[in-house]
Structure 1
Amino acid sequence: MKTQTIAPDVLARLADAGSEFSVSAASAPKGWVIYVHDQVGDRALLDIEGRAAAVFDALLAVELRLQELGVHSFAVDAERGELAYDEWLKAEVQQAIDDPSPMVPHEEAMRRIRAAIKTK
């Protein structure tokens, strides 16, 4: 099923008109996606070029973009964020399990970490 989208200028018009809608930010594999929830449905905010859902690297970037569009509050979809984190963590663990490089003994790993911390 294809995700419905909304152009930034349309969201700005909804905000200016005082229309009934809500906005949330949901964690995605490469950042945060903004969703607009209204009588049309749940729609992802398009990027500036209007080609794909906009992905933001931080919640601060989400907040700033929404303010530019006249939206002054939004929810953070924690459930989606937790699911994305779980998927990321499982992938990281599996990558470590599958890594063919030789194991590093615990004491050696700790020595390397302590040395790295000292240099900061």
Structure 2
Amino acid sequence: MAAETIDHGMLAELAEAGAVRAAHVVGQPGGWSLRVKYGAAERMLAAQRSRQVRIFRRMETLVSYLKDLGIERFDVDAADYEAEGGKSRPDRAEAMRRAHEAAAHDKWFRAQVEDAMSEADDPNTKWVSHEVVKQGMARQRAKLLARINGDDA
């Protein structure tokens, strides 16, 4: 059975209201999770996007998170903690690399479009008609076909 969870927003509201009775940091392979008690309920903190139990890779990050919420006292159960055991996320590293590449390409592309628009608006730009371009391309094509066919013209 999946653990019942609580999200950050609800935990922040409970902490602000002073309704959090206890916070338990629980070690597990790959990091630390957080179990909070409030009223008669006990819930695990959920990750924002996945809604799965949130795993903090570093204890320092979790301590800062709790202190920011105003929770300064908590207990730690490190019995099942394993630093190297958790899920690695090479997929996230690859996704971030692709996102950075896409952002860089987008920046380059927008600069190219801006340059082209500036050139098009410049009154000194010399324009070539479509017919002249078509004739030039036809000449190039004829030369390439001649080379392919062995007719060194």
The TM-score, its normalising length taken from structure 2, stands at: 0.48
Which structure has more strand as a fraction of its residues?
1
Work out whether residues 32 and 55 of structure 1, in 8 Å CA contact, stay in contact via their aligned partners in 2. yes
Cα-to-partner distance string for 1:65-84 (whole Å, 9 max, x where unaligned):
1122222221102xxx2244
| 70 and 48 in structure 1: CA distance in 2 versus 1, 3 angstrom threshold | farther
Q: Which residue of 1 is the match for residue 23 of structure 2?
A: 23
| 84 and 60 in structure 1: CA distance in 2 versus 1, 3 angstrom threshold | closer
Deviation at residue 40 of structure 1 after TM alignment = 4.0
Q: Mind listing any 5+ residue stretches in structure 2 that lack a counterpart?
A: 86-153
Q: Which residue of 2 is the match for residue 74 of structure 1?
A: 74
- In 2, the alpha carbon distance for the partners of 1:5 and 1:70 equals 20
| 32 and 20 in structure 1: CA distance in 2 versus 1, 3 angstrom threshold | closer
> Over the residues paired in the alignment, what is the CA RMSD in angstroms?
1.9
Cα-to-partner distance string for 1:31-76 (whole Å, 9 max, x where unaligned):
0001101234321111232521110112111101112222222110
**Alignment coverage as a number of residue pairs:** 83
Q: Which residue of 1 is the match for residue 63 of structure 2?
A: 63
- In 1, the alpha carbon distance for the partners of 2:7 and 2:64 equals 16
Q: Which residue of 2 is the match for residue 92 of structure 1?
A: none
Equivalences for residues 15-54 of structure 1 within 5 A: 15-49=15-49, 51-54=51-54
- In 2, the alpha carbon distance for the partners of 1:40 and 1:2 equals 19
Q: Which residue of 2 is the match for residue 2 of structure 1?
A: 2
Larger Rg: 2
